[in-house]
């Protein structure tokens, strides 16, 4: 019988950690006293097992549990419940990693296009990709479309809505998506190259599907989603439901849990179908270290069974003068996202955007 191997970081005294690990194994599997279980199969096959316990600093331990794959039901929501449901409420536990059996990896499927799919859409083979954001929210459809056209004239590869832009009265989704899609096409008539516009999909399930259908009808090829805001199961359903779309995953709400960002952004989002994954870059507005950022990138694009690699997209306080640093740090398989660092150029926005594109093209 196959099992997930789930790694947790647990705070405990050395004398107590074995007992704490056994309690965690029961909590994350059957959630009841072990001596009350009468059925032999459940005790042998369903109850979680403590596979290993290793020191991980003062009064901290890395504990690996084996949880029966059967208990996930092959569903995303149930998977989350099994690996970090009840114990997410216990502040001495942090989820660090999950090793999935091959059949579950195949079940969830990963990116439909990934790095190769995005490169094929854009016709870009041998350099990092560029990206930017339309902002701020509260802007009119006309303003956002004008920004989009400017970025497209500079030939920035992926122009996304800011994740704060949804279906607000200032720029309703259908109107905004149509205007920005038109702006990209108009720019392509001048440059000879059509880039990608990624509208933000936010809302309850019914609205999400309606807006995804609108995007497909407009010929849009990629959308922005925040899997933790929508819910991981809803995100995976969107990926499964719209085979003509690629998905750019945003990390919003990803810091509200005690889950390793390397696993959450680099692996879990990829497993559920993200073709590219945005995450906070070091040296900007957020506090991730260079090592964490490198580990996220490597998890997103590294070899993992038959899953396609996803583009890592470092962002958050990025500026044009850091392009050389970032491309040296991440290498070729990266998408660099600069938003406010371009918008701060004001009337020189087109020139600053072209500088960004030119610097990436030199790498």
- Residue 212: which of 179, 234, 186 has the closest Cα? 234
Phi-psi category of residue 270: left, alpha or beta, with phi > 0 → left and psi -120 to 50 → alpha? alpha
Give how far Cα 352 sits from Cα of 82, 130, 132, Å.
48, 13, 12
Give ∠ CA 31-34-37 in degrees, rounded to 5: 95
CATH 3.30.70.150 residue ranges in the chain? 3-107
CATH 3.20.20.110 residue ranges in the chain? 114-361
Cis before residue 290, ω within 30 degrees of 0?
no
**What mean pLDDT is predicted for residues 221-243?**
98
33: which DSSP letter?
-
148's tokens: 């989009």
- Rounded distance, CA 49 to CA 356, Å? 51
Fold of 114-361: TIM Barrel (3.20.20)
**What mean pLDDT is predicted for residues 250-266?**
96
Query: How many Cβ atoms are within 10 Å of 168's Cβ, its own excluded?
Result: 14
Residues 6+ apart with CB under 8 A from 167: 173, 202, 203, 207, 211
- On average, the pLDDT of the chain sits at 97
- Rounded distance, CA 172 to CA 322, Å? 34
Confidence tier at 287 by pLDDT (50, 70, 90): confident
Residue-wise pLDDT for 266-284, tens only, equals 999 999 999 999 999 999 8
Query: Would you say residue 1 has pLDDT above 90?
Result: no
**What mean pLDDT is predicted for residues 199-228?**
98
pLDDT score, position 224: 98
267: which DSSP letter?
I
- Which of these CATH numbers, 3.30.465.10, 3.10.20.30, 3.10.450.630, 3.30.70.150, describes 3-107? 3.30.70.150
CB contact at 8 A, 238 and 212: yes
Residue-wise pLDDT for 28-81, tens only, equals 999 999 999 999 999 999 999 999 999 999 999 999 999 999 999 999 999 999
- Rounded distance, CA 26 to CA 5, Å? 14
Element (H, E) at 146: helix 141-153
Query: How many Cβ atoms are within 10 Å of 169's Cβ, its own excluded?
Result: 6
Query: Would you say residue 363 has pLDDT above 80?
Result: no
Instruction: Give all strands of the β-sheet with 3-11 in edge-to-edge order.
Output: 49-55, 60-68, 3-11, 93-99
Looking up tokens 């809505």 gives 161
Percent of the chain with pLDDT over 70: 100
Question: Dihedral of CA 228/134/353/156: which sign?
Answer: positive
CA atoms within 13 A on the CB side of 114: 23
pLDDT score, position 120: 98
- DSSP codes, 302-347: S-BTBPPP-EEEEESS--GGGHHHHHHHH-SS-EEE-SHHHHTTGG
101: which DSSP letter?
P
Residue-wise pLDDT for 91-150, tens only, equals 999 999 999 999 999 999 999 999 999 999 999 999 999 999 999 999 999 999 999 999
CB contact at 8 A, 7 and 96: yes
**Whole-prediction pTM value?**
0.96
In the chain, where do the E strands start and end?
Answer: 3-11, 49-55, 60-68, 93-99, 129-134, 158-161, 196-198, 222-225, 246-249, 276-280, 311-315, 335-337
Percent of the chain with pLDDT over 90: 97
* Bridge partners, 56 (sequence order): none
308's tokens: 């396609």
**What mean pLDDT is predicted for residues 156-176?**
98
Give ∠ CA 110-68-84 in degrees, rounded to 5: 65
- Rounded distance, CA 347 to CA 341, Å? 13
């Amino acid at each position: 019988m196959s099992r997930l191997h789930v790694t947790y970081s647990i705070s405990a005294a050395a004398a107590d950690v074995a007992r704490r690990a056994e309690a965690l194994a029961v909590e994350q599997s059957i959630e009841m006293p072990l001596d009350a279980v009468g059925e032999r199969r459940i005790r042998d096959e369903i109850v979680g097992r403590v596979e290993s316990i290793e020191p991980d600093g003062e009064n901290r331990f890395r504990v690996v549990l084996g949880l029966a794959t059967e208990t996930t039901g092959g569903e995303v929501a149930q998977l989350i419940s099994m690996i970090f449901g009840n114990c997410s409420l216990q502040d001495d536990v942090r989820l660090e990693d999950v090793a999935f059996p091959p059949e579950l990896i195949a079940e969830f499927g990963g990116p439909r296009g990934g790095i190769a799919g995005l490169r094929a859409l854009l016709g870009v083979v041998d350099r990092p990709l560029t990206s930017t954001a339309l902002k701020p929210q509260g802007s009119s459809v006309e303003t956002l479309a004008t920004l989009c056209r400017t970025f497209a004239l500079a030939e920035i590869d992926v122009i996304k809505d800011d994740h704060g832009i949804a279906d607000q009265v200032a720029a309703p989704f259908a109107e905004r998506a149509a205007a920005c899609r038109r702006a990209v096409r108009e720019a392509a008539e001048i440059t000879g190259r059509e880039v990608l516009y990624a509208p933000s999909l936010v809302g309850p399930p019914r609205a999400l599907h309606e807006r995804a259908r609108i995007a497909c009808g407009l010929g849009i090829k990629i959308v922005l989603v925040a899997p933790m805001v929508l819910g991981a199961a809803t995100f995976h359903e969107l990926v499964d439901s719209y085979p003509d779309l690629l998905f750019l995953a945003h990390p919003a709400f990803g810091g509200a849990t005690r889950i390793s960002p390397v696993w959450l952004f680099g692996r879990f989002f990829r497993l559920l179908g993200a073709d590219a994954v945005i995450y906070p870059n070091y040296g900007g507005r957020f506090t991730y270290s260079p090592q964490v950022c490198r580990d996220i990138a490597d998890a997103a694009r590294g070899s993992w069974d038959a899953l396609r690699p996803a583009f890592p997209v470092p962002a958050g306080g990025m500026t044009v003068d850091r392009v050389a640093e970032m491309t040296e740090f991440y290498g070729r398989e990266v998408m660099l996202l600069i938003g406010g660092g371009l918008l701060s150029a004001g009337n020189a926005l087109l020139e600053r955007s072209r500088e960004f594109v030119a610097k990436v093209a030199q790498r």
